[in-house]
Structure 1
Amino acid sequence: MEEVKTFESICNLLRNRSYKLTPQRQTILQTFLENVDSHLSAEEVYMLVKHQNPEIGLATVYRTLDILAEIGILLKNDFGDGRSRYEFSRQDEHHHHHHLICLGCGNVSEFDDDLLESLEAVIVKRNKFKIMDHDLKFYGYCHRCGEAH
């Protein structure tokens, strides 16, 4: 995984976009920096931050996550479980990394093998279609849940 932006660089980006750097936003940012490889829902972020900042509300978490996604700090993902999950964006990638989603426990993990490049080349050539990005998700069972299925 690429080196994640520093807390200070994210704070500067917020300030440059005229967003206030509230204590709640700082706590949410710090939570993502501490869980850099996670795909956290707003509810999970809320459960993590309310211990450090008891007065924070779920609506504040949602607003902050939307802002961070809007300015490109976070990516908002839909893994088909009815709630959006957020992760740090990788702005140096040509394509997004891909996800493995467990239908048993809901765990989301990443894989970076981009085997679709040759398929993309065929699509571009045959269809005269300029591909800007792709997103690949595999749904199945992780090693723990797979034993039960």
Structure 2
Amino acid sequence: MEQRIDRIKKQLHAKNYKLTPQREATLRVLLEREEDHLSAENVFLLVKEKAPEIGLATVYRTLELLSELKIVDKINFGDGVSRYDLRKEGVEHFHHHLVCMECGAVDEIIEDLLGEVEQIVEKDWGFQVKDHRLTFHGICKQCQTASVEVTK
């Protein structure tokens, strides 16, 4: 974790920002809970445990800055809540998600499935793609299994 924080600190410095204690506390929460797709409020409550003096506005500003710098991705799964997801290091594009419409579970697809689609978009529409996001909404295996069990 310390190496990742150090690399992020360098990213911030390259854009003339500092890694303040508040930003570091926010980053630590995101790193510790990387698979959780936390909302700003979730991040705030967890940061507050580490740094009780921090305010909600500071956490929001930090998340927005990290999003602008492409350290985190701001995502919405259709429920009206923005969530924050650390961008995987060394990847060119945002990763994809599977969202269960029954239980709300979110799984990640790390493989970039849209390389060929991106080339078609660039060639046929003359549109220079910088990034893409793909979210599948459906029913997860667990909910499908539970549904079959109930109907038996």
Match of 2:79 in 1: 81
Cα shift at 1:120: 4.9
Aligned pairs (5 A) from 1:84-95: 84-90=82-88, 92-95=90-93
Cα shift at 1:123: 5.5
- Structure 1 range deviating more: 77-86 or 134-143: 134-143
* Higher normalized helix content (fraction of residues): 2
Cα shift at 1:137: 0.9
Cα shift at 1:116: 3.9
CA 1:115–1:70 in structure 2 vs 1: closer, same or farther (change >3 Å)? closer
CA 1:9–1:113 in structure 2 vs 1: closer, same or farther (change >3 Å)? closer
Cα shift at 1:71: 1.3
Cα shift at 1:119: 4.7
Match of 2:136 in 1: 138
Q: Deviations over 1:70-102 (max 9, x none)?
A: 112111112111111111223633433211012
Which of 65, 69, 85 pairs up with 1:71?
69
Is the CA contact 2:66–2:72 (under 8 Å) kept in the aligned structure 1? Answer: yes
TM-score, with length taken from structure 1: 0.78
CA 1:112–1:20 in structure 2 vs 1: closer, same or farther (change >3 Å)? closer
Aligned pairs (5 A) from 1:38-53: 38-53=36-51
Is the CA contact 2:73–2:94 (under 8 Å) kept in the aligned structure 1? Answer: no
CA 1:41–1:111 in structure 2 vs 1: closer, same or farther (change >3 Å)? same
CA 1:70–1:118 in structure 2 vs 1: closer, same or farther (change >3 Å)? closer
Q: Deviations over 1:9-34 (max 9, x none)?
A: 21233234333433221111111121
Distance 1:106 1:144 in 2: 11
Distance 1:80 1:49 in 2: 25
Match of 1:96 in 2: 94
Q: Deviations over 1:25-48 (max 9, x none)?
A: 111111112123332211111121
CA 1:27–1:130 in structure 2 vs 1: closer, same or farther (change >3 Å)? same
Amino acid in the other structure paired with 1:37: E
Distance 1:47 1:141 in 2: 30
Distance 1:11 1:104 in 2: 39
Structure 2 unpaired stretches of 5+: none
Distance 1:27 1:123 in 2: 40
- Structure 1 range deviating more: 30-39 or 73-82: 30-39
Q: What is the aligned length?
A: 146
CA-based RMSD: 2.8
Taking only the aligned residue pairs, the percentage that are identical comes to 46
Match of 1:7 in 2: 5
TM-score, with length taken from structure 2: 0.76
